[in-house]
Chains A and B, each alone.
Chain A
Amino acid sequence: MALKDRVNPIERNPKERAKDFSEVSLGYTENLAIIEAKRCLQCKIPTCVKGCPVGIDIPGFIKQIANEKFQESYKILKKYNALPAICGRVCPQEVQCEGACVLNKMGKPIAIGSLERFVADWASKNNIKDEIKIEKKLNKKIAIIGAGPSGLTAASELAKSGFLVDVYETFSEPGGVLIYGIPEFRLPKSIVKKEVDFLKELGVNILLNIPVGNAIEPQELLEKYDAIFIGVGAGTPKFMNIEGTELNGVYSANEFLTRINLMKAYKFPEYDTPVKIGKNVVVIGGGNTAMDAARSALRLGANVTIIYRRSEEEMPARKAEIHHAKEEGVKFQLLTQPISYIGDKEGNLIGIKCVKMKLGQPDKSGRRKPIPIENSEFIIPTEIAIEAIGTNPNKLLLSKFEGLKLNKWGYIQTNEYGQTSIPKVFAGGDIVTGSATVILAMGAGKKAAKKIKEFLND
Chain B
Amino acid sequence: MLNNIVKKEKLAYGVHLFWIENPIISKKAKPGQFVIFRIHEGGERIPLTISKTKGNMFRVIVKAVGKSTYELCKLKENDYIKDVVGPLGTPSEIKRYGRVLVIGGGVGIAAIAPIVDALINVGNKVDTILAARNKESIILEDEFKDSENLYFATNDGSKGEKLFPNQLMEKLIKEEKYDVVWAIGPALMMKACSEVAKQHNLKIFVSLNAIMVDGTGMCGGCRVRIKDTLKYTCVDGPEFDGRDVDWNSFLTRLSQYKAEEKKALENYLKIVGEPTWL
| Chain B residue nearest in CB terms to A169 | B85
Within 8 A of A (CB), among B7-37: 24-25, 28, 33
Within 8 A of B (CB), among A323-349: 346-347
Contacts of A251 in B (CB 8 A): 221
CB distance from A22 to the nearest CB of B (A): 19
The reply to whether the CB of B54 lies closer than 8 angstroms to some CB of chain A is no
| Chain A residue nearest in CB terms to B229 | A241
| CA of A13 to CA of B187, assembled, Å | 49
The reply to whether the CB of A170 lies closer than 8 angstroms to some CB of chain B is yes
| CA of A211 to CA of B218, assembled, Å | 12
Contacts of B43 in A (CB 8 A): 272
User: Which one of A214, A245, A252, A258 contacts B86 once the chains associate, using CB atoms below 8 Å?
Assistant: A214
| CA of A268 to CA of B268, assembled, Å | 12
Given contacts A246-B246, A272-B42, A274-B264, is CB(A236)–CB(B218) below 8 Å? yes
Determine whether the beta carbon of A237 is less than 8 Å from that of B264.
no
The reply to whether the CB of B216 lies closer than 8 angstroms to some CB of chain A is yes
Contacts of B214 in A (CB 8 A): 170-171, 258
CB distance from B266 to the nearest CB of A (A): 9
Contacts of A245 in B (CB 8 A): 223, 230
The reply to whether the CB of A67 lies closer than 8 angstroms to some CB of chain B is no
The reply to whether the CB of B38 lies closer than 8 angstroms to some CB of chain A is yes
Determine whether the beta carbon of B256 is less than 8 Å from that of A276.
yes
Partner-contacting stretch, out of B55-63, B116-124, B247-255: B247-255
Contacts of B85 in A (CB 8 A): 170-172, 209-211
Determine whether the beta carbon of B219 is less than 8 Å from that of A208.
no
The reply to whether the CB of B176 lies closer than 8 angstroms to some CB of chain A is no
CB distance from A122 to the nearest CB of B (A): 31
In this complex, the member of B67, B68, B217, B230 whose beta carbon has the largest number of chain A beta carbons within 10 angstroms is B217
| CA of A254 to CA of B220, assembled, Å | 8
Q: Mark B188-232, 1 if CB is under 8 A from A, else 0.
A: 000000000000000000000000011111111101110000101
Determine whether the beta carbon of B213 is less than 8 Å from that of A263.
yes
Given contacts A236-B220, A239-B230, A258-B213, is CB(A274)–CB(B261) below 8 Å? yes
Within 8 A of B (CB), among A189-244: 208-211, 214-216, 235-237, 239, 241
Contacts of B257 in A (CB 8 A): 274, 276
The reply to whether the CB of A248 lies closer than 8 angstroms to some CB of chain B is yes
CB distance from B149 to the nearest CB of A (A): 34
Contacts of B28 in A (CB 8 A): 214-216
Given contacts A215-B87, A252-B221, A263-B213, is CB(A395)–CB(B256) below 8 Å? no
The reply to whether the CB of A373 lies closer than 8 angstroms to some CB of chain B is no
Determine whether the beta carbon of A239 is less than 8 Å from that of B267.
no
The reply to whether the CB of B235 lies closer than 8 angstroms to some CB of chain A is yes
The reply to whether the CB of A437 lies closer than 8 angstroms to some CB of chain B is no
Q: Mark A14-50, 1 if CB is under 8 A from B, else 0.
A: 0000000000000000000000000000000000000
The reply to whether the CB of A270 lies closer than 8 angstroms to some CB of chain B is yes
Determine whether the beta carbon of B225 is less than 8 Å from that of A396.
no
CB distance from A263 to the nearest CB of B (A): 7
| CA of A180 to CA of B43, assembled, Å | 16
The reply to whether the CB of B263 lies closer than 8 angstroms to some CB of chain A is yes
| Chain A residue nearest in CB terms to B39 | A272
Given contacts A248-B255, A396-B216, is CB(A263)–CB(B45) below 8 Å? yes
Determine whether the beta carbon of A269 is less than 8 Å from that of B235.
no
Determine whether the beta carbon of A246 is less than 8 Å from that of B223.
yes
**What 5 A-B pairs are tightest by C-beta distance, nearest first?**
A347-B252, A274-B260, A255-B219, A246-B249, A252-B220
Chain B interface (Cβ < 8 Å from any Cβ of A)? 1, 24-25, 28, 33, 38, 42-45, 67-68, 82-88, 213-221, 223-225, 230, 232, 235, 246, 248-250, 252-253, 255-257, 260-261, 263-264, 267
Chain A interface (Cβ < 8 Å from any Cβ of B)? 170-172, 180, 208-211, 214-216, 235-237, 239, 241, 245-248, 251-252, 254-255, 258-259, 263-264, 267-274, 276, 346-347, 394-396
